Amino acid sequence: MRGSMMNFPLTVNHVFERAGQLFADREISSRRPDRTVQRYTYADFCRRARRLASAVQRIGLRHGDRVATLMWNHSAHLEAYFGVPLAGGVLHTLNLRLHPDEIAFIANHADDRYLIVDDVLLPIFEKFRGKTNFERVIVVPFGACGAAIEHQNYEDLLASGSEDFSPAADADENDAAAMCFTSGTTGQSKGVVYSHRALVLHSFALALPDVMNLSTHSVVFPVSPMFHANAWGLPWACVMIGTALVFPGPCLDAETLLDTMTTEGVTHACAVPTVWLGVQAALEKEPERWKFSSPVTILCGGMAPPISLIRNLDRANLRITHGWGMTETAPVATVGSLKAKMAAWPADRKLERRAMQGTPVPFVEMRIMRPEGEAPHDGKTPGEVEIRGPWIASSYFNCPDQQHRWSKDGWFRTGDIATMDAEGYLEIVDRSKDLIKSGGEWISSVDLENTLMGHAAVREAAVIGVPHPKWQERPLAVVVLKEGAAAEPEELRAFLSQKFAKWQLPDAFVFASELPHTSVGKLLKMKLREQYAAWDWKTLDQVR
Amino acid sequence: MRGSMMNFPLTVNHVFERAGQLFADREISSRRPDRTVQRYTYADFCRRARRLASAVQRIGLRHGDRVATLMWNHSAHLEAYFGVPLAGGVLHTLNLRLHPDEIAFIANHADDRYLIVDDVLLPIFEKFRGKTNFERVIVVPFGACGAAIEHQNYEDLLASGSEDFSPAADADENDAAAMCFTSGTTGQSKGVVYSHRALVLHSFALALPDVMNLSTHSVVFPVSPMFHANAWGLPWACVMIGTALVFPGPCLDAETLLDTMTTEGVTHACAVPTVWLGVQAALEKEPERWKFSSPVTILCGGMAPPISLIRNLDRANLRITHGWGMTETAPVATVGSLKAKMAAWPADRKLERRAMQGTPVPFVEMRIMRPEGEAPHDGKTPGEVEIRGPWIASSYFNCPDQQHRWSKDGWFRTGDIATMDAEGYLEIVDRSKDLIKSGGEWISSVDLENTLMGHAAVREAAVIGVPHPKWQERPLAVVVLKEGAAAEPEELRAFLSQKFAKWQLPDAFVFASELPHTSVGKLLKMKLREQYAAWDWKTLDQVR
């Protein structure tokens, strides 16, 4: 027997329409590159997003077409987050921190038709422009830097659209609304296509009291980039709930962040630990400058926050909630919230618990898989995290070799190694074996290795993540030269920089006579990691 | 283009499995008829619900079969809330306050195969038993009153089931999970069949900070009956979030409720205003007896709470949130929460706002319809509330004459007359014209009228709701006798009691020479309501 309930689709269109009706005068502010603040309301945002939707349809957007953005976190990006899906298009956020060639590859692979780009990011665009074929480039006068007469001005585009725009009534919740590429799990970026349904359900989960606790009384500061993993889904969740929004623009230094948080009355923020380490340092330097009389909820993810960071920020009334997820999981899958009975625990035990990846949010299911089957929930036995749920990717976009990322029974294989304890808390004990996590971004060691091994002098190379006080990990390359060949670190670095962004390059090159291998001939990186675990980064300059 | 997300169904099965993994030691307590308290944990609840699911399958439950319950709010009822859908069945909660004939009609109409009944409710069952054909009657030894050797004992049934039970892996989110009958919108109860999807999405909405604000740290006290509108969806929402649960059993007097709230540390409760009026009176009588050091969230619905009640309970730290909905809306559709900017309003203005039905929760859409079209959102122009969303009924169960309850474009026509203001706040200005709201329950005036008019001496009758200090409204019958005929109130009362429960009977009978009618010959009840608006219920005994 079927339920006799309405077949009402879960779309961001509803989220948008409701926000316009209920939260018209709620504020949205954005910091411009010159540090001034642009302010407007949900009513303005809705009018402009409608104009955008109408305008992109008028210039020829068809259902399902991709519209790329190369933008910082600010209100025009939010307009694109809604305006593009409202028009039936797919928002494709380009990661401006990738190497220009990789951005071009991603835009071409996604078959993006239009690009919306911040004027201040045109220099990046120019670096890959020649390798792409956008039908139209729309420039947002975000920095008011007067560039780009040759491209269309975003404001002119909006002027050509209509405020009376309404989205199609027959929107399907399984239609694509947005798209984001992973930053290189096996060296090649892969596209994840989010359905309306996934974004809506993720928003519900994110807003729950035990996750982000989002209310219309909240003032939310999404510091994690809207160009990667959708600022952790906050743009959609916040508009669903009607929170005030505060966007940092490109001003991500700790002092400006703290100034913004105090002057705007921020109640919730999100960013990777690296950002909060900077905030911690600023607070230590000037302990009297910034005061938070009410607790601020900080969603912290991308890598595990150090316990000392959680403790120190607690003292400043900045309360870290550790969340874990990936581009493939929309992204929030677990949060390190405490259970009711843990309220009575000693402070240190609570801190340890909060530093864990935590428990799955509603409708995310996880299991820890080992060659012999599912690992017990004993907090000791590690295995690969497999995950499923309505906002977990079931495939990559147009990707020929991807089957190995899903189990035969349909779970996504995260590549992360973790334990789970009897309380259901996940703790990642090893990063996925081939990835380096640097400042919340992933660097593919395989990609670096493969490129290095393309150098004439290199016989074999391994790149591993080595603990780093600031970035959590930085890549270190262990290189075996061909017999009789010679190469200096600087030469290898220059060679790699043809393909990789600067932050992806190994910070050190070590030369060895051989590399350890498994019995089946695979690189035994674990051994290398052990060998270089105590690497002293102060020696960097010498090695470089 | 489609999203590439997993097709993961929204089912209460997931809610159940997750709760068992994450909240095993969270407490569930239930007050027994003798006022003692039964305590157990989610782990116990899950084991027993699995046994129930396994056992009902073993006795022959097929996918989609209905299992009726005639039970108070306690842990075994929660076991049925999950155990029945887990087994693929449909939980059908019978309203024990209806007339036995109506309960029988409803059970037969729903084609219920099994009945789970509290031992203390067997006297009610005996009254309609002869008119029903349950294949099996399972008696819960809730009151330990030693009855019913002829029926199966619930504990024996559980003993025959297995704790290893797992729900079918291919559950469909659109399958029916539960069913509830309205209490007489046009005199005949109609069945609403809730899908898994509807219950899950309703749970997400209910848990949001701006709705019920449910956290795993919450201790929730569902006082509104599980046998009507699913205790406002709390059983599913609370298990999804992992709150502690406190069930009142049949002990609904104000003193016991207050005792329970203080001793159990209740943080959230729900019930109709009548219950809270009783609580208010108890607090006034003994102001020092019960103290709430932290605010308790009270979801109050079924009818509008008087502003004086909201104000008085605020003083006791019991904070009313007014919610509005119906059986057809699963039920929560709006809440009278304040917006951020309203925090600065004067106290009285805030109270007025909180007494309104409020704004729609995410994914509920409303419009106010008049003959000429949609009413403006001016807070003045009344019209019929129409509603749609993923947890709104699209039809009644096996009901031939129902098309008029849905608009041609698929909105549910609530029958309630309301205004909506520019802030999106709904305010119901008239109850649906034919219904009487007494103590949070509906009484169908049409049904009473039709029955009355079946009496030999009655020519015409109108039954209207007249304001009542305790019950909000009580029915008053205005009767026109046939020429030359005679009848006393007591006689008419006895005549009606053959079909109606005692609380549904008019409290007063007034005899008139004629009734007002509209130009098309319909009863003009508005006129009668005006005429009897100041009815003095103290004259009741004389009229009776």
Other Cβ atoms within 10 Å of B352 Cβ, number: 15
Give the Cα-Cα-Cα angle B45, B48, B51 (nearest 5 degrees). Answer: 150
Mean pLDDT calculated for residue range B268-283: 91
pLDDT tens digits for B165-183? 999 888 999 999 999 998 6
pLDDT tens digits for B39-98? 999 999 999 999 999 999 999 999 999 999 999 999 999 999 999 999 999 999 999 988
Contact A2 B424 (CB under 8 A): no
Dihedral sign (CA B57, B61, B65, B66): negative
Could you confirm whether B442 is annotated as catalytic?
yes
Contact B8 A241 (CB under 8 A): no
The band of A520, judged by pLDDT with boundaries at 50, 70 and 90, is: very low
More confident residue, A446 or B532: B532
Mean pLDDT calculated for residue range A112-119: 98
Shortest Cα–Cα distance, B172 to chain A (Å): 9
Q: Does residue A166 sit at the B interface (CB-CB below 8 Å)?
A: no
Question: In the predicted model, is pLDDT for residue A439 greater than 90?
Answer: no
Q: Write out the two tokens for B161.
A: 């089931």
**B329, closest residue in chain A (CA to CA):** A5
Contact A215 B217 (CB under 8 A): no
Residues of B in contact with A214 (CB under 8 A): 208-209
The band of B237, judged by pLDDT with boundaries at 50, 70 and 90, is: very high
pLDDT attached to residue B542? 40
More confident residue, B442 or B213: B213
Of B213, B330, B423, the CB nearest to A209: B213
Contact A396 B4 (CB under 8 A): yes
Task: Using the CB atoms, write b or e for B212-242: b if 16+ within 10 Å.
Answer: bbbbbbbbbbbbbbbbbbbbbbbbbbbbbbb
218-237 of B, contacting A, C-beta below 8 A: none
Residues of A in contact with B64 (CB under 8 A): 1
Chain mean pLDDT for chain B? 92
User: Which member of B11, B93, B182, B267 is catalytic?
Assistant: B182
**Among A11-20, A78-87, A433-442, the least confident range:** A433-442
Question: In the predicted model, is pLDDT for residue B309 greater than 70?
Answer: yes
The band of A147, judged by pLDDT with boundaries at 50, 70 and 90, is: low
Question: In the predicted model, is pLDDT for residue A417 greater than 60?
Answer: yes
Residues of B in contact with A337 (CB under 8 A): 216
Question: In the predicted model, is pLDDT for residue B522 greater than 60?
Answer: no
pLDDT tens digits for B4-20? 999 999 999 999 999 99
pLDDT tens digits for A38-52? 999 999 999 999 999
What percent of chain B has a predicted confidence (pLDDT) above 90?
75
Could you confirm whether A442 is annotated as catalytic?
yes
Question: B329 φ, ψ to 5°?
Answer: -120, 20
The band of A193, judged by pLDDT with boundaries at 50, 70 and 90, is: very high
Chain mean pLDDT for chain A? 92
pLDDT attached to residue B408? 95
Shortest Cα–Cα distance, B338 to chain A (Å): 9
pLDDT attached to residue A128? 97
Q: What is the pTM of this model?
A: 0.87
Residues of A in contact with B198 (CB under 8 A): 3, 5
Contact A209 B214 (CB under 8 A): yes
**Amino acid (one-letter) located at A250:** P
CA proximity to A39, closest of A264, A240, A197, A208: A264
- At A458 the three-state DSSP class reads strand
CA–CA distances in Å: residue A484 to residues A26, A457, A459, A478, B232: 69, 9, 11, 17, 79
Task: Using the CB atoms, write b or e for A431-459: b if 16+ within 10 Å.
Answer: bbbbbbbbbbbbbbbbbbbebbeebebbe
Of B22, B205, B359, the CB nearest to A22: B359
Q: Does residue B6 sit at the A interface (CB-CB below 8 Å)?
A: yes
What percent of chain A has a predicted confidence (pLDDT) above 70?
95
**B398, closest residue in chain A (CA to CA):** A4
Could you confirm whether B182 is annotated as catalytic?
yes
Question: In the predicted model, is pLDDT for residue A142 greater than 70?
Answer: yes
pLDDT attached to residue A518? 61
Task: Using the CB atoms, write b or e for B454-485: b if 16+ within 10 Å.
Answer: ebebbebbbbbbbebeebbbbbbbbbbbeeee
CA–CA distances in Å: residue A12 to residues A81, A82, A230, A423, B59: 9, 7, 14, 34, 45
Residues of B in contact with A392 (CB under 8 A): 5-6, 8
More confident residue, A340 or B417: A340
Mutate to test the interface with A, among B2, B7, B8 (most CBs of A within 10 A): B8
Question: B508 φ, ψ to 5°?
Answer: -145, 145
The band of B433, judged by pLDDT with boundaries at 50, 70 and 90, is: low
d(CA A342, CA A359): 14
The band of B470, judged by pLDDT with boundaries at 50, 70 and 90, is: confident
Contact A217 B193 (CB under 8 A): no
Of B5, B241, B388, the CB nearest to A390: B5
Q: Does residue B255 sit at the A interface (CB-CB below 8 Å)?
A: no
pLDDT tens digits for A319-328? 999 999 999 9
Rounded-to-5 percentages of helix, strand, coil across chain A: 35, 25, 40
**A238, closest residue in chain B (CA to CA):** B362
Which H helix or E strand runs over A198?
helix A196-207
Q: Does residue B423 sit at the A interface (CB-CB below 8 Å)?
A: yes
264-293 of B, contacting A, C-beta below 8 A: none
Mean pLDDT calculated for residue range B259-274: 95
Beta-bridge partners for A339: none
pLDDT tens digits for A341-386? 999 999 999 999 999 999 999 999 999 998 889 999 999 888 899 9
What percent of chain B has a predicted confidence (pLDDT) above 70?
95
Angle between helices A12-22 and A75-86 (to 10 degrees): 120
**A18, closest residue in chain B (CA to CA):** B362
Mean pLDDT calculated for residue range A508-525: 77
- Could you give all domains of chain B from N- to C-terminal order, each with its CATH number? 7-26+39-195 (3.40.50.12780), 365-430 (2.30.38.10), 435-543 (3.30.300.30)
**Amino acid (one-letter) located at A9:** P
pLDDT attached to residue B382? 81
The band of A432, judged by pLDDT with boundaries at 50, 70 and 90, is: low
The band of B159, judged by pLDDT with boundaries at 50, 70 and 90, is: very high
ipTM of the complex: 0.87
Shortest Cα–Cα distance, A209 to chain B (Å): 6
